[in-house]
Amino acid sequence: MTGTGGPAAPARPDGTVPFRATLGRSVALFSAFRREQADPAFFYGTLARDTVAQLRSYTPLDGRLVVDVGGGPGYFADALREAGARCLCVDSDAHEMTLHGRSADAFAVQGSALDLPLRTGSVDVCFSSNVLEHVPDRARMADEMVRVTRPGGLVYLSYTLWFSPWGGHETSPWHYLGGRYAAERFARRNGHRPKNDFGRTMYAAHAGEMLRWARARTDVDPVDLRPRYLPTWTKPLVRVPGLREVLTWNLLLVLRKR
């Protein structure tokens, strides 16, 4: 999905349209997000196609080996394969792999994002969408993603920021009063714990911590640091401490391994 907001970009020789992060694209993504609960296949399929188009703007995918860290039911894996990639999905939760009535992927393995069951330097692209906020040690997961990527390969790491409007996921906006308070409030009102339960399956992930992590590494070069879902002209937000934690919403780090 390329969105609107200007003349259409010319197609590539393979018939695909170059990715453009426009305001129209942002509006379309947020409109699709409103259907997440009622029609998850529509939302996640839309997001997956958009994400693969974005990923292709950084690296060719045809024939490349991509690992999808925390890929769950495999929507991203499907879109990556449609783009010509060879994709392996790694997820720690077998139940997540069969969500929304999906069948378990034959090219999926159960394993932890904190200790990926892959050889060092074995993949062309290490990809993860909205998983980092669900692990207790974010730097370790990012370290693992870099480890399994070959020199010259790409790391695509995107996650929801805690102080964004959706930082508490289904407990939002009460997470602004504290993650544990938001989870307890949800449990009282719904009779069960939230799927994204603060301190157990969701943690407070911030932009500053991972930007510092990226700067501290000597084996990766930043390719792009940006709000994932917002138009290109919002990229300067990432450079403004405090403001970026709220308005970036979802931070994308694209890194090239040396």
SS3 of 62, please? Answer: coil
The count of other CB atoms within 10 Å of the CB of residue 16 is: 13
The confidence score (pLDDT) of residue 11 equals 44
Measure the CA–CA gap between 167 and 179, rounded to whole angstroms: 9
**Between residues 83 and 14, which one has the greater pLDDT?**
83
The confidence score (pLDDT) of residue 38 equals 87
Residue 2 has pLDDT above 90, yes or no: no
pTM, to two decimals: 0.90
The confidence score (pLDDT) of residue 1 equals 30
Domains present along the chain, CATH in parentheses: 36-161+205-257 (3.40.50.150)
Reported as type and span, the H/E element at residue 77 is helix 75-82
Helices 23-33 and 40-56, axial angle in degrees (round to 10): 150
Measure the CA–CA gap between 30 and 92, rounded to whole angstroms: 28
The confidence score (pLDDT) of residue 108 equals 85
Structure tokens at 118: 């892959």
* Residue of 256, 47, 226 whose CA lies nearest to 149: 256
Residue 57 has pLDDT above 60, yes or no: yes
Residue where the block lists tokens 């980092």: 132
Structure tokens at 234: 């919002």
Residue 14 has pLDDT above 60, yes or no: no
The confidence score (pLDDT) of residue 187 equals 98
The count of other CB atoms within 10 Å of the CB of residue 90 is: 22
Measure the CA–CA gap between 209 and 138, rounded to whole angstroms: 9
Reported as type and span, the H/E element at residue 96 is none
The confidence score (pLDDT) of residue 106 equals 56
Q: Please answer whether residues 257 and 146 qualify as being in contact, where contact means their C-beta atoms are separated by less than 8 angstroms.
A: yes
Question: Mean pLDDT lowest for which of 83-97, 112-126, 177-191, 236-250?
Answer: 83-97
Percent helix, strand and coil across the chain, each rounded to 5? 40, 20, 40
- pLDDT confidence of 10, banded at 50, 70, 90? very low
Give the chain's mean pLDDT.
Answer: 90
Extended strands (E) in 75-228: 86-91, 108-110, 123-129, 149-160, 220-227
Would residue 72 be called left, alpha or beta, if left means φ above 0 and alpha means ψ between -120 and 50 degrees? left
| pLDDT > 70: percent of the chain | 89
Residue 7 has pLDDT above 50, yes or no: no
The confidence score (pLDDT) of residue 36 equals 86
